[in-house]
C-alpha cells in the first residue's frame, strides 16, 4: 500500500474540529473583549462564555451553577482532590480512596497529600484493568473524605464501575469524584447516572482547544477556592476567562453529545478490525485490558519481544502516530504504571503500544496499519 498519514493517538489529544475553530475565531479577532468588562465587547465575550456553559451543562445533564471552567483536566483533578482533602481535614478525615491506574494528575495529587499526612488507598486492578466494586466497598472507612475513580482509563481504555462506586459513596456520605476525560464522544456522560459529586473534563481530548477544561461540582457540595483573585467562576477559580478556548469547548461538547451511539459503534468497528487483524497477523501478541468493558477507540496491544518505543519510532517513519504504553510523560523508560498494575512484567509492559481511534479514522487507515505492522514486528524481533 502507498504510504499514508494515520493519526492513531487520539487519547493523547485530538484535532480541533472545524466547528469549534469557527466558533472560537471571532473571540480572537472582532470580539476579543475581556468577559469581565462592562462595555459591549466585554458583554459579547461574557455572553459567549454563558452560552458555552449552557452547552456544557446540557451535555452532562448538569445545572448551570454546577460547572467551573479550568485550564484543563490536570487542574480539575487537582482542584477536586485538594478541595475534598481540605474539607476532610476540618473534620479529621484524612483518608482517600483511588485506583492504581489513575492518570498522574490524580495519582501525583494524592502523593502530594500523603506527604501532608493523608492516607491513600490505591485500589488494585486484575489483568482486566478494572477495579472490583467489592474492593471499593471494603476500602471505605469512617475517615474517608474522598473516592476518586476514573470513568475510562487513558492507556487501556477499560471502563470502571463508576456509578456503583458513586452509589456506595452516596450511601456513606463520602464525596465522589471521577475523571471522565477519555469518555467524552465515545459514551454518554450523565452526572446523575454516574452518581458523581465532582467530574473532570479536558477540551483537547474531544476536539476543543488545549488549555481548557471543566470541573463539575454537584450543587450542595462544598468546594474550596482554588485560584484567588477576581470574581470569575464565582470567585473560586479566578483569572480572565480564556474565551476562545471556552467557546471551542462548548461547541465541541455539544457536537460530541449528539449521535454518541452511532459514532461509538463506528469507532468500535474500526478498533475491532484493527485488534483482530493484529492478533491474527502477528504472532506473540495480546490485547491488554478487558475485551468488552473498554472505550470504543482503544486498542492496546502487547508485542512479545519488542521494545514499544522502537515500534513507535518505526511506525512513525511509516506515517503512523501511536503511543507507547511504556514511556511515561517524562520520556523515561519506566514501564507504564497501568500495565504493571495489571500484572504485566516489565518486558511485556514495555512492549505494549496504544492505538486510540476516533471518528476521523477510516477503514483504509486500519488496512494500512495492518499492512505495515507484521514486517516491522518481524524486523524488531530479529535485531
Ligand atoms: C489527558 C488526561 C488528563 C489531563 O488533561 P489535560 O487537560 O491535558 O491537563 C487527565 N486525565 C486523563 C484520564 C487524561 O486522559
Whether the predicted pLDDT of 326 surpasses 90: no
At residue 332, the pLDDT reads 60
Q: Where are the domains of the chain?
A: 6-16+259-382, 18-256
**CA 194 from centroid of its chain's CA atoms:** 15
Residue among 205, 200, 207, 199 nearest 251 (CA):
207
Q: Which CATH class is domain 6-16+259-382?
A: alpha beta
Residue of the nearest CA to atom 15 in ligand 1?
154
CATH T-level topology, domain 18-256: 3.40.640
pLDDT for position 374: 97
pLDDT over 80 (residue 333): no
Q: What is the DSSP annotation of 185-230?
A: TTB---TTTTT-SEEEEEGGGGTS-TT-EEEEE-TT------B-SS
- Residue 241, pLDDT > 60, answer yes
Q: What are the tens digits of pLDDT across the range 58-69?
A: 999 999 999 999
Which of 16, 70, 107, 202 maximizes ligand 1 atoms within 8 Å of its Cβ, making it the mutation to test the pocket?
202
Q: What is the pLDDT of residue 1?
A: 86
Residues of the chain above pLDDT 70, percent: 98
User: Residue written as cell 520520556?
Assistant: 331
Average pLDDT over residues 71-97: 98
Tell me: pLDDT of 267 over 70: yes
Nearest ligand 1 atom to alpha carbon 210:
7
Catalytic (active-site) positions: 328
Confidence of residue 334 (pLDDT cuts 50, 70, 90): confident
Q: What Cα–Cα distance (Å) separates residue 203 from each residue in 17, 71, 175, 279, 297?
A: 11, 9, 24, 33, 18
Cα separations in angstroms, 79 against 86, 190, 229, 236, 332: 10, 21, 16, 10, 27
Q: Whose CA is nearest to atom 11 of ligand 1?
A: 103
For residue 206, the model assigns a pLDDT of: 98
Predicted pLDDT of residue 383: 81
Mean pLDDT score, 26-54: 97
Ligand 1 — pocket residues by CB below 6 A? 72-74, 77, 103, 105, 150, 154, 179, 181-182, 202, 205, 213
Question: Which whole number is the average pLDDT over 236-240?
Answer: 96
pLDDT of residue 327: 47
Name the residue of 12, 74, 110, 248 to mutate for ligand 1: max ligand atoms within 8 A of Cβ.
74
Residue 329 has pLDDT above 50, yes or no: no
Q: Which residue has the cell 466547528?
A: 19
Could you please report the per-residue DSSP string of 313-355? HHHHHTTEE-EESSS-TT---PPPHHHHHTT--HHHHHTEEEE
Q: Tell me the average pLDDT across 305-318.
A: 96
| Ligand 1 centroid distance, CA of 74 (Å) | 6
Give this prediction's pTM.
Answer: 0.97
Q: What is the pLDDT of residue 331?
A: 55
Mean pLDDT of 180-193: 97
Mean pLDDT of the chain: 96
Average pLDDT over residues 260-281: 98
Report the share of the chain in percent with pLDDT over 90.
96
Amino acid at each position: 500500500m502507498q504510504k499514508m498519514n494515520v493519526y492513531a493517538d487520539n487519547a493523547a489529544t485530538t484535532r480541533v474540529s472545524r466547528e469549534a475553530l469557527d466558533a472560537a475565531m471571532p473571540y480572537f479577532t472582532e470580539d476579543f473583549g475581556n468577559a469581565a468588562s462592562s462595555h459591549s465587547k466585554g458583554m459579547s465575550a461574557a455572553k459567549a462564555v454563558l452560552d458555552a456553559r449552557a452547552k456544557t451543562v446540557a451535555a452532562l445533564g448538569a445545572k448551570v451553577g454546577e460547572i467551573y471552567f479550568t485550564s484543563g483536566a490536570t487542574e480539575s483533578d487537582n482542584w477536586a482532590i485538594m478541595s475534598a482533602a481540605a474539607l476532610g481535614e476540618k473534620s479529621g478525615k484524612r483518608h482517600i480512596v483511588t485506583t492504581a491506574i489513575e492518570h498522574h494528575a490524580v495519582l501525583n495529587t494524592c502523593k502530594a497529600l500523603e506527604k501532608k499526612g493523608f492516607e491513600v488507598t490505591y485500589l488494585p486492578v486484575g489483568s482486566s484493568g478494572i477495579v472490583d466494586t467489592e474492593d471499593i466497598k471494603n476500602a471505605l472507612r469512617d475517615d474517608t473524605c474522598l473516592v476518586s475513580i476514573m470513568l475510562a482509563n487513558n492507556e487501556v481504555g477499560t471502563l470502571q464501575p463508576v456509578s456503583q462506586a458513586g452509589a456506595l459513596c452516596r450511601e456513606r456520605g463520602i464525596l465522589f469524584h471521577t475523571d471522565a476525560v477519555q469518555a467524552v464522544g465515545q459514551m454518554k456522560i450523565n452526572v446523575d447516572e454516574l452518581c458523581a459529586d465532582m467530574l473532570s473534563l479536558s477540551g483537547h481530548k474531544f476536539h476543543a482547544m488545549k488549555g481548557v477544561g471543566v470541573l463539575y461540582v454537584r450543587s450542595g457540595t462544598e468546594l474550596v477556592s482554588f485560584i484567588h483573585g477576581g470574581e470569575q467562576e464565582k470567585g473560586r477559580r479566578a483569572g480572565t476567562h480564556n474565551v476562545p478556548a471556552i467557546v471551542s469547548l462548548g461547541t465541541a461538547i455539544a457536537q460530541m453529545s449528539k449521535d454518541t451511539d452511532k459514532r461509538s459503534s463506528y469507532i468500535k468497528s474500526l478498533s475491532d478490525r484493527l485488534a483482530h487483524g493484529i492478533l491474527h497477523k502477528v504472532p506473540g501478541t495480546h490485547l491488554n485490558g478487558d475485551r468488552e468493558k473498554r472505550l470504543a477507540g482503544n486498542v492496546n496491544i502487547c508485542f512479545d519481544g519488542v521494545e514499544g518505543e522502537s515500534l513507535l519510532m518505526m511506525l512513525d517513519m511509516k506515517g503512523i502516530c501511536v503511543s507507547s504504553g511504556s514511556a511515561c510523560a517524562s520520556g523515561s523508560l519506566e514501564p507504564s504504571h497501568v500495565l504493571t498494575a495489571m500484572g504485566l512484567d516489565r518486558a511485556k509492559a514495555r512492549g505494549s503500544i496504544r492505538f486510540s481511534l476516533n471518528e476521523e479514522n477510516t477503514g483504509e487507515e486500519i488496512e494500512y496499519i495492518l499492512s505495515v505492522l507484521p514486517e516491522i514486528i518481524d524486523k524488531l524481533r530479529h535485531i
